[in-house]
Structure 1
């Protein structure tokens, strides 16, 4: 007998029929003798519907009231799932985040979990019940309902698994695991049997939408084995764990992540003096704009060209800030490009293999794809290229690193 925490996303519980299918799946686990805690999202589209209702009344509703409103979506799902289980003769009990007492800070709409009281859940498990918990929500010290931000149900599931010391946290979604890259771009992309938390964290931060990044951080911190599976297709999914694969022939690269939502800005002819980077990036950061890749080039005339990337939605606002900064610093000009993309190769195997970056650059050069910027870390290499070459580049790299489904997976 094992203790599993299951999390079912909005598409998995999007209709009454799908909720019934989830109940069937849980019945199979229960018949095998396992204990189950189930975290559910709102039915697909429900959160957007609730937000739309709020916006029809007030352009900028109070965050506290928004949390009260949108938290109701998960409550509908948890109650319906418990009814479906009870109809099958399976004892079940539902809990809101507040009833469990998932304690959070008071940052409405983006709260962070501080503590979880699992006494009631453990009591129900000992009594033979399946416990169904509303994801995405908690309460603060004053008892106010809080929510964890979009995708927060993943974090609820992992946090409960950590608090309960569950054998595994299983995230059920509309994909059957983590792939070497997006199968919609590369038809020969493979499902990975296993990936490390480090690799998954990089892929999640670089644009892979399979898991919410905070849930991966949480799982890695508390060493919770995490598995991504499909609600609609049976299979082993992908296990995300602390341990690296110890097989002799392990791949150098586990996957390729990419992000189309990039924009690049350059301030040219800036005096090359101490503190200039802070004077350029400080106002951007104060505007709550996140900066990604940074490159600085010093010219022979002792001026510097400073280039960095931001999210495409922040392009116009950042450019306005830079124009003002350029005047203050006496810079020559500000240039920008909002038709770029970032591609990253990710893999713990890089640590023990030389020449990974050069192999990446060679593969792109063979397709006449120009690299605009480069960023590296211990287990990833990222490049900025023109957006029009994105899919060609991903396919070329996927083949170059033997990630295609019909290729061997070792170097």
Structure 2
């Protein structure tokens, strides 16, 4: 249904995006009702709730809305009347009596926001994996599950391609000092705790390596401040700037093309990957950067762009080398830990 809506319209206006959110939120609503019926059938007093019934109040930025307030009076009243399980539809809120959604993976945002509203200190999130790994175990079978990870590191991993937790759910947990416990829906496991940096007992030189193929490299003949100002002013995300090139996301590229028009000389490379190496204080340890360059040189992989922060080093390479580089970097840093 969502794809049909995209074929019908470019979904460029607020009214169309509002209707799109109605379509997107249908799955969660159906799942809530089915789960409530299933629990009731085995004697558990469960009740489903949709965002507008609480309500979870958001802004009107449809498909990427942000929460303003979570009201739980209805839930508390229901519990006092004997309800033992409340099933709240994730990923959605309400603004001016219209449904809104939080973006892909937004159910994480819903549950952490509810944890804040109920003033709990631990929020358990059940997913299709049994915790946070040092990298994608589908690519590197030797990837190690972390017992704990800091908010800052988890946030960087989420922003850099790891799809375990929505970055905004981590930000909310960090702001309100809520421990997140990432657990498996399908098997018993202690999972991974997401904690303040000082509470993480196991410290590693490199905590994780992520990769993303959602980036696009735009190379200009002359990248001026005027061009950058116009791009950022149009709410186009700029992830990295390297010489006369910048990196944005694939979902922003159509808007960037429209803005740049035919009067500016540029080329687009969408066959790239971003590899990010994450760990507290990695840029102050020269061994990390040395290892990255050594692995790139050994595999004869050209580095198209690089950016660094206190806890992350990101490099842009050709997409065809992404998995090879992730494997070699993981093996290389495992030997240093």
TM-score class normalised by the smaller sequence = 0.7 to 0.9
Give 1:382 deviation, angstroms: 0.9
| Corresponding position: 1:184 with 2:138 | yes
Query: Which secondary structure does the structure 2 equivalent of 1:217 belong to?
Result: helix
CA distance in structure 2 between the aligned counterparts of 1:56 and 1:387, rounded to whole angstroms: 28
Give 1:53 deviation, angstroms: 6.0
CA distance in structure 2 between the aligned counterparts of 1:80 and 1:319, rounded to whole angstroms: 44
8 Å CA contact retained: 1:251, 1:349: no
Once the two structures are overlaid, the 10-residue window that deviates more, 221-230 or 351-360, is 351-360
Give 1:381 deviation, angstroms: 0.6
CA distance in structure 2 between the aligned counterparts of 1:219 and 1:325, rounded to whole angstroms: 45
CA distance in structure 2 between the aligned counterparts of 1:352 and 1:125, rounded to whole angstroms: 51
- Please give the per-residue CA displacement for 1:78-101, whole angstroms capped at 9, x wherever unaligned: 122122222222222221111111
Identify the match of residue 294 of structure 1 among 241, 255, 274. 241
| Corresponding position: 1:307 with 2:239 | no
Change (3 A) 1:109 1:344: closer
Change (3 A) 1:125 1:401: farther
Partner of 2:85: 130
Give 1:400 deviation, angstroms: 1.1
Partner of 1:250: 203
- Please give the per-residue CA displacement for 1:294-332, whole angstroms capped at 9, x wherever unaligned: 123xxxxxxxxx121222465576467557454xxxxxx
Q: Say which one has the larger Rg.
A: 1
Give 1:285 deviation, angstroms: 3.2
CA distance in structure 1 between the aligned counterparts of 2:19 and 2:310, rounded to whole angstroms: 43
| Corresponding position: 1:202 with 2:159 | no
Partner of 2:214: 261
Give 1:167 deviation, angstroms: 3.5
Once the two structures are overlaid, the 10-residue window that deviates more, 187-196 or 362-371, is 362-371
Partner of 1:121: 75
| Corresponding position: 1:388 with 2:320 | yes
CA distance in structure 1 between the aligned counterparts of 2:251 and 2:7, rounded to whole angstroms: 24
Gaps of 5+ in 1: 1-48, 271-275, 297-305, 327-332
The number of residue pairs the alignment matches comes to 333
8 Å CA contact retained: 1:195, 1:244: no
Gaps of 5+ in 2: none
TM-score by length of 1: 0.73
Partner of 1:279: 226
- Please give the per-residue CA displacement for 1:277-302, whole angstroms capped at 9, x wherever unaligned: 32122333355432221123xxxxxx
